[in-house]
Structure 1
Amino acid sequence: MSADQDELGVNVRKWRVRRRWTLRQLSEATGLSESFLSQFERGLTQASIASLRSITDALGITFGELFETDAASGARVLRQQARPSLPFGDDAMKYLITPKSLDHLEVFSVKFEKGGSTGPEQYTHGDSEELLVVQEGAVKLELLSDVFLLEQQDTIVFRSSVPHRVVNVHPGSSEVLWIISPPSH
């Protein structure tokens, strides 16, 4: 077998272990036998494209992620210019800071322009822990009927299942570091 095929098996095992799945769980999710999966992870057999597709679908990763290799230390780098971004709420932009595929943590930097907010109404998502750190400016956090004024370097922790809304109350822009554990997709 080629080194590339060996690396694919190693990567499948890495992703399976990250998900805290046993071979049996991956087998049940893919319809592939435990014996085949074990041999593939150890580089003793090859996998077809269809089998690889079943594996990536079950693990919730893209085909490309299966071919990515990490540094020996397991470190993954996300360069600032490569950070995914998306418009967020009203007059705000959300930037993903954590490299993809972290199972237990997700970090965003959110920049709120003057008067910007997460939207006109409070919202919820999942039931994760959220930590906000005000990096610049000042924001108001609405949690149900409670209101918290947070200034630079202030932090607050709450559950994502509690209706919440963030509003920039600074005369200029404000920036918030938003940490969610586990990620609520």
Structure 2
Amino acid sequence: MPAKPKAPSPIESSPEAINENLGKRVKKLRGDRGWSLEELATASGVSRSMLSEIEREKANPTLTVTFRIARAFGLTLQELIESAEASASKIQVIRANDRAQVYRSDKQCEIRTLSPINLEKDVEFYELTLRPGGTLRSQPHFEGTREFLTVEEGSVRIESDVNSEELAKGDSGTYRADVPHAIVNTGKGDALVFLVVIYR
């Protein structure tokens, strides 16, 4: 799979813009986890006062400090900086020929993610092509997860636990994804579906 086009490095971006976006990003990540500044300080090894300065966009953190914060959130340094920069962009575009967005490609199916892969999200959007006879079977996701599916081409059967339903071109369906579930191509040609996964 070709490498993802090179994003601007932190050095090529405005330091002021990175600091501002980083502060907002750290504050959001901390809030998403329900952490206090003290808890993030313990997890990262960065002082509470420094974290407060970063979140208020008053500090110019070193790479070492930024790395420690990224590690506390389970991210790489580049992921934290890239996601901070991306969160400031009002428009994000995923090009049709960007092979870095291809999540899986084999004789069963091809899955292309249509949502930014570098951002944490509660919703994921995919384009799924199932080959003739192809099946995408999935283990249960987190409790409360649902999937929404629309058939663009062909016909499929959706299965969720013991339930199943046949869908043709133009049909849509929603189902629990916190149980074993599957999408099965029931036609003679490729089936193209758009899939939205919502985590709760």
Calculate the TM-score normalised by the size of structure 1: 0.81
1:124 maps onto 2:140 in alignment? yes
Contact kept? 1:140, 1:167, Cα under 8 Å: yes
1:165 maps onto 2:185 in alignment? no
User: What is the aligned counterpart of 1:93 among 110, 114, 129?
Assistant: 110
- The change in CA–CA distance for 1:52 and 1:84 in structure 2 (over 3 A counts) is same
Alignment match, 2:197:
180
Q: d(CA) in 2 for partners of 1:4 and 1:73? A: 14
- The change in CA–CA distance for 1:71 and 1:29 in structure 2 (over 3 A counts) is closer
- The change in CA–CA distance for 1:86 and 1:43 in structure 2 (over 3 A counts) is closer
1:56 maps onto 2:70 in alignment? yes
User: What is the aligned counterpart of 2:80 among 41, 52, 66?
Assistant: 66
Q: d(CA) in 1 for partners of 2:89 and 2:172? A: 31
Q: Count how many residue pairs are aligned between Structure 1 and Structure 2.
A: 180
Q: d(CA) in 1 for partners of 2:135 and 2:96? A: 23
Q: Percent identity?
A: 24
1:110 maps onto 2:124 in alignment? no
Q: d(CA) in 2 for partners of 1:11 and 1:71? A: 7
User: What is the aligned counterpart of 1:142 among 159, 164, 171?
Assistant: 159
Alignment-mate amino acid for residue 15 of structure 1: R
Contact kept? 2:24, 2:55, Cα under 8 Å: no
Alignment match, 1:45:
59
Alignment match, 2:8:
none
Q: d(CA) in 2 for partners of 1:17 and 1:29? A: 14
Contact kept? 1:6, 1:41, Cα under 8 Å: no
Contact kept? 2:122, 2:199, Cα under 8 Å: yes
- The change in CA–CA distance for 1:46 and 1:17 in structure 2 (over 3 A counts) is closer
Q: d(CA) in 1 for partners of 2:157 and 2:105? A: 16
Alignment-mate amino acid for residue 24 of structure 2: K
Alignment match, 2:6:
none
1:66, CA displacement in angstroms? Answer: 3.5
CA RMSD of aligned residues (A): 2.7
1:98, CA displacement in angstroms? Answer: 0.4
